[in-house]
Structure 1
Amino acid sequence: MNDTRKNNDLINIIQQKYDDFSKGQKLIANYIVNHYDKAAYVTAAKLGEIVGVSESTVVRFAIELGFDGYPKLQKVLQELIKSKLTAVQRIEVSSNRINEDNILKSVLQSDMDKIKITLEQIDNSDFNNIVETILGAKRIFILGVRSSAPLASFLGFYFNLIFDNVRLVHTTSVSEMFEQIIRAQEGDVVIGVSFPRYSKRTIKAMQFAKKQGVKTIALTDSAESPVAKSADMSLLARSDMASFVDSLVAPLSLINALIVAIGMRRKKEVYNTFEKLEKIWDEYQVYEKDDGYGGEKL
């Protein structure tokens, strides 16, 4: 059984195999089933210490489940908890992961790591195919709610400067979301932005769009995320939880790359748009001008 399947069924597998485990393995199994949020971020030695078994017993337990070793089991547990932890559990878990003596360094270093992992794992051909799909769309619908709403808004803001056929679907109501994409049809593109904890509204809207024959693109963290499963194509960026806060630095960086790539392909249109906008911004004093006195007018 592959890791993808284990990611979905890990707890069920542990429960099904429970009677075949040794006494020590049963202790590990009980702890993981009841405290998977904590088990995901402790070493094999620490887990063994917590339940009262040796490190080697923990490693053998992971192998018994079909993993190459404990780190693979731990990785699956970390993926599993992304969509399951409550805000309270997130605070408890992050308190064990973040160095409270230097929170600034801990959080920024974690964000840097997520961008690095995203860069290493992203498929450039998938990225280019998505760029082509968006460029060829009749209309572009962008979905994103809750913590993903700022990402969707950022993407929508710049896409509106590049295209004249963009609609940002940003609502707190399930029915309103469907009402805003009801006319989406073949030839259009729906981009759904969703990171843990995944929004049911976005998932359902993507499923609806796909049934309508609309090309669907997911911006999410994993090919196994529910929004990716509802999409024809996916762009994946690693996200993380910094306490109760969603860390979405890598997703925003990926969105930046998408905007730049499309902007480069529509260079002439973008140039003309900004040429007009600069005149408008100047005429209506949208931006403060530096007059040599730090921006202050005498």
Structure 2
Amino acid sequence: MSDADSGGTEGAAARLQQLFEGHRLTPTQRRIAHCMVRRAADVPFLSSVELAELAGVSQPSVTRFAVALGFDGYPALRRHLREVAPAERPEAEAAALNEYQQAVQAEIGNLRHLAALLADPAPVERAGRLLAGSRPLPVLGLRAASAQARGFAYFAAKVHPDVRLLDEGGTMLADRIDAAARAGANALLCFALPRHPREVVDALEHARESGLTVVTVADSAFAPVAGHTDLLLPAAVGTGLAFDTACAPMLLGRVLLEAMCDALPDAQASLEEFDARAAARGLFVD
């Protein structure tokens, strides 16, 4: 994928996001929107049947979705997308790559899209301030998202005085959220990736009922957790392999860490203190 192609894909995804904004979409319609954003370069060339198969919904659902956006039907929506899409579908170069290379190129595209979103740093900076000001700070991530939550919590604990990792579900999850709220927490960070466990949606709903402000890193602005989140930061996952790849959500988590450090006046001193202790204990060999 050339820089021009990736730029066109990013622009197409951004235009789709703008098209969906301001519309109250059903869960099925959010699923279609999510699929369209992930396949932004292909959507103007897909039939309603093909889009339905990709999104895992019925063909009439695609038609109703187009009408919900204000079009006469799916053909009218597709004509609109073709008018604003790049002139050529970037198939030739992609066809020359094997499936592993295509997966890597797709992730590069996801990272470019994330870079474009971060041109406006205000949402991440706001999230950083919310996380820095929450004592304790609960960090939630179940199943596929547990690795992202654990990685964030590991590094956050070096600068934040009380980070509580919530990476196991079950009946005690709500209890642990309650305990964090009673201890003074006012925000919760969630990593939410496909497939989205129902338990995460329930946990976020409970967190908000407990008075916590929910910040979520999700694979799409139309993810099932969107309606239970106060500040959602999207970062797409790759879907070209048997299991999704999550380079963009991982990087966005590190960006959030940076923003949180910027909002913590003692962050640098905490890092220097940790480095001194690590050297004294001989923790690392490098």
Q: What TM-score bracket applies, with the shorter chain setting the length?
A: 0.5 to 0.7
8 Å CA contact 1:237–1:250 kept in 2: the answer is: yes
1:115 matched residue in structure 2 = 111
2:124 corresponding residue in structure 1 = 127
Alpha-carbon distance between aligned partners in 2 of 1:215 and 1:170, rounded to the nearest angstrom: 19
What is the 5 A alignment of 1:170-185? Answer: 170-171=167-168, 173-185=169-181
What's the CA shift for 1:226? Answer: 1.8
- CA distance 1:243–1:208, shift in 2 (3 Å): same
Gaps of 5+ in 1: 14-27, 40-61, 74-97, 290-298
Is the 2:137–2:163 Cα contact (8 Å) retained in structure 1?
A: yes
- Cα deviations across residues 130-151 of structure 1 (Å, max 9, x unaligned)? 1221222232100001111111
Say which SS state the counterpart of residue 142 (structure 1) adopts: strand
Name the structure 2 match of 1:279.
276
Residues matched between the structures, number? 225
Which structure ranks higher in relative contact order (CA pairs < 8 Å, sequence separation ≥ 6)?
A: 2
Give the Cα separation in 1 of the matches to 2:270 and 2:29: 52
State how far apart, in whole Å, the 2-side matches of 1:111 and 1:206 are: 28
Question: Which residue of structure 2 aligns with residue 68 of structure 1?
Answer: 77
Secondary structure, aligned partner of 1:138: coil
CA distance in structure 2 between the aligned counterparts of 1:257 and 1:148, rounded to whole angstroms: 17
Find the counterpart in structure 2 of residue 81 from structure 1: none
1:198-237 alignment to 2 at 5 Å? 198-237=196-235
Q: Is the 8 A contact 2:201 2:228 kept in 1?
A: yes
Q: What is the CA distance between 1:188 and its match in structure 2?
A: 1.7
Decide whether the 8 Å contact of 1:184 with 1:212 is kept in 2.
Answer: no
How big is the shift at 1:180?
1.4
Aligned to 1:69, the other structure's residue is in SS state: helix
* Identity score, percent: 16
Offset, 1:257: 1.0
Tell me the alpha carbon deviations over residues 219-256 of structure 1, each in whole angstroms, 9 at most, x when there is no partner.
Answer: 11222212121111111112221322111111111111
- CA spacing shift, 1:99–1:141, aligned 2, 3 Å: farther
TM-score by length of 1: 0.65
Distance in 2, Cα, partners of 1:114 & 1:71: 24
Structure 2 CA distance for aligned equivalents of residues 67 and 247 of structure 1? 33
TM-score normalized with structure 2 length? 0.67
- The answer to whether the Cα contact below 8 Å between 1:63 and 1:70 also exists between their aligned partners in 2 is no
Deviation at 1:259, TM superposition (A): 1.0
Change in Cα spacing, 1:153 to 1:100, as seen in structure 2 (3 Å) is farther
Displacement of 1:125 in angstroms is 1.8
Q: Report the CA distance between 1:63 and its aligned residue.
A: 5.8
Residue identity opposite 1:126 in structure 2 = P
Matches within 5 A, 1:1-298: 3=20, 4-5=23-24, 8-9=27-28, 35-37=53-55, 64-65=73-74, 67-69=76-78, 72=81, 102-122=98-118, 123-171=120-168, 173-185=169-181, 187-266=185-264, 269-289=266-286
CA RMSD across the alignment: 3.2
Q: Label 1:36 to 1:241 Cα distance change in 2 as closer, same or farther (>3 A).
A: closer
Are residues 216 and 38 of structure 1, via their aligned partners in 2, closer, same or farther at CA, if it must alter by over 3 Å? closer
- The CA distance in 2 between the partners of 1:244 and 1:71, in whole Å, is 33
SS of structure 1 residue aligned to 2:77: coil
CA deviations 1:79-133 (Å, max 9, x no partner) are xxxxxxxxxxxxxxxxxxx869634421221111001112223542222211221
Structure 2 stretches lacking a partner, 5+ long: 1-18, 33-46, 58-70, 83-93
| Number of the residue aligned with 2:4 | none
Deviates more, 1:239-248 or 1:226-235: 239-248
